[in-house]
Structure 1
Amino acid sequence: MTASSPPTSPPPPSSITAPCAESARATTRKAALSPMYLCDSHLHTKYSFDADQGKGGEVLACCEAALAKGLNEISFTDHYEVDFTNTGIFDAYDADAAQRDIFEAKERYRGRLKIHYGIEIGQPLNDPEHAKAFVESRPFDYIICSHHSTTRGLDFCFFKFDEMSPALFDYYFADYLDTYRQMIELPYIMTASHLTYPVRYAKKGGLDVDLKKFYPTFEAIFRRMIERNVPLEVNTSGLRQGLGFTLPDYDILSLYRACGGKLLTVGSDAHTAEHIGFGFEEVYGKLKAIGFDAVTAFDNKQIKQILI
């Protein structure tokens, strides 16, 4: 989608703050940006194995869509599923082509759209050495870590939740959260993605799940994330997929805030250009209502806070 008169990005924030991961992680300061400064920190292109080819997954198409929707900043975070991509179960990630296209876009849209070259590392704990070697092999600006499956098992998207009991879901979800808790210790993690990922597919399958019993586990995860200065992602995909809530939902985000959490990235998890930035203004309003005054982004792998 091409904007006839693309908006001009406001000046970049002048205050760059705490480095990510195992660096100093000093206290962040807020960059005084416009309340309408919109940053999509999670989106995919045709280079993700699950991209719907032919539906606007070209890097340039994504950039044009972002401009048309009034976004100021985006991060390309294609999938690299450590266990499945590395073994050939999923299509190979064309790292050279993706890097080339994204760096060309950075130059083409300089001054109009801030673009980050990122990656979504899935299941990094299933092959930690390979995951670490991969993220160090490319000049990534931004690294999302995520977990999509049971321990060395299938992605939750393949589960038959319509045939699953709530007790079995609880068993799998507890296992998932245990792995998630280990994942946030990784030295290169910059954002922990879609905390309640399995719920996306459980709800689609008609399974009614009760997450309140997991609040103590969520709280333990949040407190460790806060200690390490690892942001939590608000993934808006559930809003466009008919779930009616973000991942995690606002109740869990309120728990995060009650634990003292302040670092939140917002990502559409778009796999086509049309879904970039989906629901962001609504989400910003909701976040403000539950006590957040900023969202998080990165410059040169350093945290910056954007006022909402």
Structure 2
Amino acid sequence: MYDFHMHSNFSADCDAKMEDMIQEAIKKGLKEIAFTEHLDVDYPDKEWDFSFNPEVYQEKLELLRTKYQDKIQIRKGIEVGVQPHVLEETSDFINRLKPEFIICSMHSANKQDLHSGIFFEDRTVDEAYRIYFEEYYACIKKFKNYHILGHLDLVSRYASAEPEHVPTEIIEEILKLVISEGKGIELNTSGYKYGMNAPLPSDFILRMYRELGGEIITLGSDAHRPEEIAAHFKEAKEILTNCGFSYICSVNGEEIHYHSIK
């Protein structure tokens, strides 16, 4: 079992202690985990400061890695929220932190956050989807400092309805670019806890990724509390198998390891 998306109180939206998360992961029998703390430079909702001190994070992580080294592998990760105007500053932070695993996510678009609903005001669901994916694509054409794309269709979690026309051509271009650069995507099970009854991204995107030749895929719970670690992994592995995947991946810097789902 490998959970490569979780947070601790180094992330602004999480109160869980890092050690509590580690102990729960050990209790659940996980072999390897990655803490992927939030960095969202210039996040539109100014009530949230999604940044952290990389030196303090490094010190805490190394202390706990040493303490639990015989029980679990712990990777130093980060989840960056990209926007077109913050790519250089985001890369500077990554270069300072030197993480072993980097998730590239998009939590806002058009300089508007997704979570409050502001992004969806005065535009149709179809328009919102297109703006979101076009901006995501524009970012990763320039931003290369990552391993996998996080919850690729996060926009669907906040939309009030399904779009009439999914921007398939843009999603396909995103996936082609990811594959050509030797990067991957994740299957994020947090959709279940938010009432979607499905992980992110959708089966449609997973199948497209696989049919295009995509192989690198990590599994992450996006846990913000200990009880959420590895949640719904059984369902996620069944979905991956049905979409044509035989492996899930773990990442340690430039090293990508494939682990049989079976």
TM-score (norm 2): 0.91
For the residues of structure 1 that align with 2:83 and 2:62, how far apart are their CA atoms? Answer: 25
**Aligned partner letter, 1:131:** T
**How many angstroms apart in 2 are the aligned matches of 1:187 and 1:254?**
24
Query: Are positions 1:303 and 2:256 aligned together?
Result: yes
Q: Which residue of 2 aligns with 1:156?
A: 114
**Paired residue for 1:221?**
174
Q: 1:236-275 maps to which residues of 2 (within 5 A)?
A: 236-275=189-228
Q: Secondary structure at the match of 1:269?
A: coil
Deviation at 1:151, TM superposition (A): 2.1
Is 1:79 matched with 2:38? yes
Q: Which residue of 2 aligns with 1:123?
A: 82
Alpha-carbon distance between aligned partners in 2 of 1:268 and 1:138, rounded to the nearest angstrom:
23
Answer yes or no: is 1:98 the counterpart of 2:57.
Answer: yes
Name the CA shift for 1:188/1:274 in 2 (closer, same or farther; >3 Å).
Answer: same
1:124 positional shift: 4.8
Q: 2:247 aligns with which of 275, 294, 299?
A: 294
Which residue number in structure 1 is paired with residue 157 of structure 2?
200
Q: Looking at CA atoms only, which structure, 1 or 2, has the larger radius of gyration?
A: 1
Q: What is aligned with 1:47?
A: 10
Task: Identify which of structures 1 and 2 has the higher relative contact order when contacts are C-alpha pairs closer than 8 Å and 6+ apart.
Answer: 1
Preserved contact between residue 82 and residue 126 of structure 1 (Cα < 8 Å): no
Q: CA deviation at 1:184?
A: 2.7
- Distance across 2 between alignment mates of 1:134 and 1:285: 36
Residue in structure 1 matched with residue 68 of structure 2 by the alignment: 109
Secondary structure (helix, strand or coil) at the match of 2:98 reads coil
Taking structure 1 as the reference length, the TM-score comes to 0.78
* Aligned 1:3-14 pairs, distance under 5 A: none
The residue type paired with residue 291 of structure 1 is: G
- CA 1:257/1:156 → structure 2, altered by over 3 Å: closer, same or farther? same
Unaligned runs of 5+ in 1: 1-37
1:191 corresponds to: 148
Output the CA distance in 1 between the equivalents of 2:200 and 2:239.
13
8 Å CA contact retained: 2:79, 2:102: yes
Q: Report how many aligned residue pairs link the two structures.
A: 259
For 2:207 and 2:137, how far apart are their aligned partners in 1?
19
Work out whether residues 217 and 248 of structure 2, in 8 Å CA contact, stay in contact via their aligned partners in 1.
Answer: yes
Partner Cα distance (1:59, 1:211) in 2: 42
RMSD over aligned CA atoms reads 2.1
Q: Spell out the pairing of 1:176-187 with structure 2 (5 A cutoff).
A: 176-185=132-141, 186-187=143-144
8 Å contact 1:190–1:231 — kept in the other structure? yes
